[in-house]
Structure 1
Amino acid sequence: MDKTVQWAAAAVADIPDGATLAVGGFGLVGVPITLIRAILDQGASRLEVVSNNCGVDGWGLGVLLSEGRIRRIIASYIGENKEFARQYLGGEVEVELTPQGTLAERLRAGGVGIPAFYTPTGMGTVVSEGGMPWRYAPDGSVAIASPPKQTQVLHSLGEPREYVLEQAIRADFGLVRAAKADRHGNLVFEKSARNFNPLAAMAGRITIAEVDEIVEPGQIDPDEVHLAGIYVDRVVQLTPEQAGELPIEKTTVRTRGENN
């Protein structure tokens, strides 16, 4: 039952070329930066990544992207990553943009064994009708477009309404960042780091967590557990230096003395 692994390099050593990774975090909050760097050093390429976004230039998933190690991304937005935008518009990477709530539910559904679900989000748009650019050609034309999705009129929530069918996501590996774990893999997330991390962990067939602190089984109150250890396969404790590396994606400041 002891799921601890001493080094991040050992935890990611069996991730092969072409693997699908579900990665927790939002912007740079709760991102498993140490595991991502270990994959960079390990050499896996042609990866498909499922994450809310793809880090920023030089941080998080951005380091894998800049090295050309990602072939496809399922994400909610391109965000602050200029290299992500450049590769997408230049046809170097395939991108399946997905509404944020839909992406969260696709990951959760994969984790609990629901193969697909209906949602009203995206009905009447390219999300349901198809035609969203997944990959551009070098000349700027659309090389691969999203296909149309199945829709259905349902009455179960009152008035008849049309819904779009969304497929669940299961990843080969889930990579997450947590504040605390016990040796059985039960996880506690710190504040807003409890974003996509539990969902990415649930969706992974093999889930690896990097954590600030590891305690003995029984030392975490069951009511404080955010994700049960049944979803977690490997736990790596960060060094104090790694745990303290918490980059800020964007700062907003005011002039001293201002009241508003």
Structure 2
Amino acid sequence: MSIELPPINVNATAPGYSSSGGLPFPSPNPANILRGQMLQRHNYYGQGMWREMVIKLCNEQAANMTNGTFPGGIYPSFRKDCYGLKWADTYMCKNPGTTPAQALWYVGSKDPLAPPEASQPTEFSGSVLTPVAALGHFMYGEGSVAKTSINSLGLNLNAQSISALDNALASATVGSSRVSLDKIPYNTANDSWMTGLWLGNITLKVEGTITKFADGRVNFDGEARAYNDTYDANPGSWRSAFGEAATAILAKIQQELNAKPYSIEIQGSYPISIRK
């Protein structure tokens, strides 16, 4: 199944940094300039323009590439954004009700490479910050486990057809019976293109009670849980999100950093209630 993404924001001037209007004497500390640029990018990330910002960072990194390598290393902006969005996403999980913009403001007020959340396990909120947070953990997380909630993934299991469950409903006899359906493949892009980009296919276990009536009506009340998944930054997903050029740069950065796949614990249960 191909993923249909919403249009990317394209202007005569790409989203990015406002004009400095010239530098007064003495010139600002370069670290302050980088921080100011990071905060401007945070503003765009908070608006959901994460693809535009990743493409921008890749274009900046491409300007530093010679013969397929990065003699000057990976730009600090890329590292700051990967860390910053990862911690902002974790902050959202720890503080329900926080918006992406608020979480980015919080992280922007700290050292993005070492905020208080750095001592906590990485969590993914399923928000507009998560695709970059998940990518950042792949690049810099050293393979450590991350976690998310099945109820944060934008799934709609009550509306989508799950063939194994459909078959169980069709073959049920009159009365009530328990059912346990294991190792069911499910494409999260069916419900959320954004979740599909960073999580892709997951494996479900569905359990519950089927009640079939003599007149043919059938009900199901139960829940779905998900097995742990592995994040390995599928190049096909990158390409659909960022285009060929940026995807090639991301692959080079991945090699440069020796990025490591990691396990995602998908916690909790998703309630399913079906009436037919």
Q: TM-score, normalised by structure 1?
A: 0.25
Rg: which structure is higher?
A: 2
Q: Which has the higher contact order (CA 8 A, sep 6+)?
A: 1
